[in-house]
């Protein structure tokens, strides 16, 4: 059983939802030309990643915001599931860094709220309180956002729950390429699953982002990767048989144990 996925990247403008949706539609159309069934867009792509300017006023109130309709229509035309990041209002004084899923018929659902926030994100956003997966064509797709993927247990929880792939929209600053390329390859290798990483690229607000969108195979090797070009779409076929082969050969997921209590021995000098 295979699933064709696309990791897509482009520049996003803070607070310009209409312009960002237009850029997202272009990415979906590019992915559709390569017959992608799932398209993953970067973290906060629809509302922008600019910590110096974040405001509750610039968050989406609901996944049914009419400004998102062109992207819903693009998913419908493509017959693809689109996973896109946005800032979502969760009350009068709370917001989350969230993932929206546009299904292949154009319906939109808020499917996941980022659980691990950086210090600058904590000043504005509230952490999500649970993990989530999407099921597309029989594939379990675990969901994470950027910093989530830096914690081995986050992808491991998805894999333990049956995920064969981990989708992780992200936003990495220029200069952090070495960490970006290590974390997500490691999450694939840790669990014997695919990882689909979509990275914000170019300037957004005061920061510049490094792209690097990629798909990693269950042994942690990049099978498709973009650089810093914008826009860019990389496509790969996920193969369930490869997940099963790697997990048999290297059963880290199966053999992971609760390590119990630690002891400390002070030996004489």
At 2-30, the pLDDT tens digits run 999 999 999 999 999 999 999 999 999 99
* pLDDT band per the 50, 70, 90 thresholds, residue 252: confident
Question: Phi and psi of 216, rounded to 5°?
Answer: -105, 140
pTM given for the model: 0.96
pLDDT higher than 90, residue 258: no
pLDDT higher than 90, residue 269: no
The number of helix segments (H) and strand segments (E) in the chain equals 7, 14
pLDDT higher than 90, residue 225: yes
pLDDT higher than 90, residue 91: no
SS3 of residue 51 by DSSP? coil
Contact 249, 238 (CB under 8 A): no
pLDDT higher than 90, residue 114: yes
Using CA atoms, how far apart are residues 54 and 219, in angstroms rounded to an integer? 38
Q: Average pLDDT, whole number, for the chain?
A: 96
182-196 average pLDDT score: 98
pLDDT higher than 90, residue 198: yes
- Residue 247 carries which DSSP code? H
Contact 117, 147 (CB under 8 A): yes
Q: Domain spanning 2-255: which CATH class is it, in words?
A: alpha beta
pLDDT higher than 90, residue 201: yes
124-136 average pLDDT score: 97
Tokens 């099921």 locate to 135
In this prediction, residue 179 carries a pLDDT of 97
Contact 171, 209 (CB under 8 A): yes
* pLDDT band per the 50, 70, 90 thresholds, residue 257: confident
């Amino acid at each position: 059983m295979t699933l064709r996925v696309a990791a897509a990247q482009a520049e996003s403008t803070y607070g310009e939802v209409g312009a960002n949706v237009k850029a997202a539609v272009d990415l979906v159309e590019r992915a559709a030309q390569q017959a992608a069934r799932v398209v993953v867009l970067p973290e906060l792509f629809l509302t922008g990643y600019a910590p110096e300017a974040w405001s509750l006023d610039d968050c989406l109130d609901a996944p049914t915001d009419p400004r998102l309709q062109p992207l819903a229509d693009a998913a419908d035309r493509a017959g693809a599931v689109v996973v896109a990041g946005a800032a979502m209002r969760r009350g009068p004084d709370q917001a989350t860094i969230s993932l929206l899923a546009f299904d292949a018929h154009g319906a939109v659902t808020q499917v996941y709220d980022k659980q691990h926030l950086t210090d600058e994100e904590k000043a504005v956003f509230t952490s999500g309180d649970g993990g989530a997966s999407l099921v597309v064509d029989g594939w379990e797709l675990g969901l994470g956002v950027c910093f989530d993927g830096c914690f081995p247990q986050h992808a491991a929880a998805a894999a333990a729950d049956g995920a064969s792939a981990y989708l992780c929209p992200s936003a990495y600053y220029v200069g952090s390429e070495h960490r970006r390329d290590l974390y997500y390859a490691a999450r694939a290798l840790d669990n014997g699953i695919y990882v689909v990483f979509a990275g914000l690229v170019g300037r957004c607000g005061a920061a510049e982002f490094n792209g690097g969108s990629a798909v990693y195979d269950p042994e942690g090797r990049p099978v498709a990767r973009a650089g810093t070009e914008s826009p860019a779409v990389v496509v790969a076929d996920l193969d369930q048989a490869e997940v099963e082969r790697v997990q048999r050969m290297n059963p880290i997921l199966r053999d992971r144990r609760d390590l119990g209590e630690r002891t400390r021995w002070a030996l004489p000098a």
